[in-house]
Structure formats: C-alpha cells, structure tokens
Amino acid sequence: MTWHTWRQHRNQAYFGAAALVAFTVLLLITGLQMASQYHSVLAACSAATSNCGSLADLTLGSPPVIFLVILTLVVPALLGVFWGAPLVARELETGTSQFAWMQSVTRRHWLAVKTGWILLAAAAWAGAVSALVTWWSSPENALKHQNFRPGQFDVQGIVPVGYALFAVALGIMAGTLVRRTLPALAITLGAFAALRVLIAYFVRPHYLAPITTITSLTSHAGPAGSYWSLALGNVDPNGQMLASNGLSNYLGYGHESITIPSVCREVFGGQQPGRAAEKLASCLSAHGYRGFITYQPASRYWPFQGIETGIFVILAAALIAVTAIVLKRRDA
C-alpha cells in the first residue's frame, strides 16, 4: 500500500516540497534581515542608555512578507481541501477504489496506510511552515509581545500541526461520506473554519481560568511578557467592574462603556479625548477609580499551545475512526 500511495500522490508531494522550499528561502532571507536589524537597534539602544524610542517605533519586515506570514493561517485548510478531501472521494468518484479494494488488501488496511502517510505529510508540512514562521517572528515577538493573541498564536508553535491533522482528517471523512470531491471540499472548508473560530474565540480563553489584576489608572505597567489580554476596564469606587472591550461580554462583566463621574467629565472640555486621557486618568484615580485587566499570563503560552493541539489531534483521531467504520460497513 505504501508503494501504491506514493505512486498515487507523488506529484502532490513534489509540488508541496517545491512550495515549501520557496517559502523557506523567502522567510530565511527576510528573517535574517529582520533579525540583524533588530539586533543592531537593540545594541544602539543599550549603548545610548537613554529612553529608547527607536526600539518601540521599529517596524520589522516588508508588508508583502508580513501578509504572506499572516496567510499561513490558511495552510491547514488548504491541506484539508487539497490533500484530505480528494483522498477517498476521488477514488470513489472514478471507481478506482473498486480496483484497489479487489486486490488482496482489506479496506481498513487500505485506509490506514493512505491516511497514515497523508496525515504524516500534512503534519510535517504544516510543522515546517510553523517552525519557519515562529523563527521569523521571534524579533517581533520579543519586541511587541503579541504572540499569545489570536492570529499570531494560530500560526506559531505547535498548533498549526494540530489544525493540519484535523483539517486533513475532516477532508477524508467528508469525502468518504459524500463520495464526491467538490462537495467534500466545500464541507471541509466550511466546517474547519467554523470550528477554528468557535474554539479560538469561545473555548480557548477558558482553557485555564484567566487572571484578573487591579491596576492603578495612572501607571502604564501591564502584565509581563507576551500575555493575552481578554478584558480590561475600570473598577468604580464600589468595586463594580466596567469592562471596555467586547470579550468581556461572555467573561461575565457588564458591557456598558465606562461611566464617568460628572466631575471628571469636565476634564474633556472642548479638547480631544486623546489629549485629555492623562488628565481623565488622574481625575478618575482621585475619585477612587482603578483599572483592571483580565488576561492569560505569558507563562501559559505553551500550556495553551499544548491544550489546543491536543483538542484538534483527538478530534482528528475520532474523524478517522468514524471513516474507518463507515468504509468497513458500507457497500463499496
């Protein structure tokens, strides 16, 4: 079966390898540039010892490459659509499954070998892309501490491997159930995107109970490192939390905007709110207001990566098991 699988999918393998090589070359060149740029600015900063504005203002990478890196978000979906969905569906569609199933191999063995290799290839491919993106993003991660946020969390570390395994397994199952490539492809894309959004926005924040810290409104110090902010806002003198961003809704905080006591409203005067922010903060502070932030600390980045990868790997295994049962029981 291994020989058979290789002969059937070797063109896909060549194409995948070529695309990976091109991507690697691009990220290596731009990544090395960014790293040296970052390190030279960092060196200049520590030499100057003064407040290092140039480091905060530093923008790394050119927009097309940044865009390409963001685009790696769809790599698992593409693998599911182009490798997973046709794997069984195309054979059922063209009848070649009947050729394969009347050789001396059981359908379960046939599925196991094909699925095994394609999942392995998808994991390797997605893992390679993710490793490159993670390395490429390291100066940016060190500078901006944003890699725990949705969008960046999803393309770095080990989660892309979990997504890829799940997407390919989903494609294989959809193809087996609907027996045709094109609908299987659409189902894979739709179901994968829906589940990813559902988990990223509604399940992931709760893997571990978030931490809420009360802060002073006048200091700018937030949690250390690459934390993931889930909600922030003000605490009024009665201890009532008034969150100011959307996620707070389901985290259980009220969602009205900050109510400002009338004394402090005058601070705005005719001025722009941005200019008045400092004055407003000290006014609110003086009237007993404080700030709060609800977040997942930076130390939980890898536990979260592990939990999310685990969820998708378990789901992928379940989908493959269902596919095997369907193929065994159903008429060929």
Binding site for other proteins (CB under 8 A): 1-4, 7-8, 94-109, 328-329, 331-332
What minimum distance in Å lies between the beta carbon of 169 and other proteins? 22
**CA–CA gap between residue 205 and residue 207 (Å, rounded):** 6
Sheet holding 228-235, edge to edge: 211-215, 290-296, 228-235, 241-243
Angle at 110 between CA 104 and CA 111, to 5 degrees: 160
CA angle at 112 for the pair 110 and 117, rounded to the nearest 5°: 105
**Nearest distance, CB of residue 103 and other proteins, angstroms:** 4
CA atoms within 13 A on the CB side of 210: 23
List of residues 6+ apart from 21 with CB closer than 8 A: none
Between 4 and 290, whose beta carbon lies closer to other proteins? 4
Residue with Cβ nearer other proteins (90 or 149): 90
- Rounded to whole angstroms, how far apart are CA atoms 89 and 322? 15
Measured from the CB atom, the residue of 57 and 331 that comes closer to other proteins is 331
Q: Shortest gap between Cβ of 182 and other proteins (angstroms)?
A: 18
Return the number of the residue (82 or 101) whose C-beta is nearest other proteins: 101
By the 8 A CB rule, do 184 and 171 touch? yes
- How many C-alpha atoms does 119 have within 13 Å on its Cβ side? 22
Task: Burial-class residue 91 by CB neighbours within 10 Å (0-12, 13-18, 19+).
Answer: buried
Cα–Cα distance, 247 to 295 (Å, whole number) = 11
Min dist CB 56 to other proteins, Å, is 56
Residue (7 or 220) nearer to other proteins, CB: 7
Q: Which is nearer to other proteins, 100 or 186 (CB)?
A: 100
Q: Least distance from C-beta 108 to other proteins, angstroms?
A: 7
Least distance from C-beta 5 to other proteins, angstroms? 10
Closest CB to other proteins among residues 30, 97? 97
Cα torsion 155, 120, 22, 185: sign:
negative
The minimum distance between CB 104 and other proteins, in angstroms, equals: 4
Name the CA radius of gyration of the chain, rounded.
25
Going by C-alpha positions, the residue among 219, 216, 211, 217 that lies closest to residue 298 is 211
Residue closer to other proteins (CB basis): 93 or 236: 93
Minimum gap (Å) between residue 332 Cβ and other proteins: 4
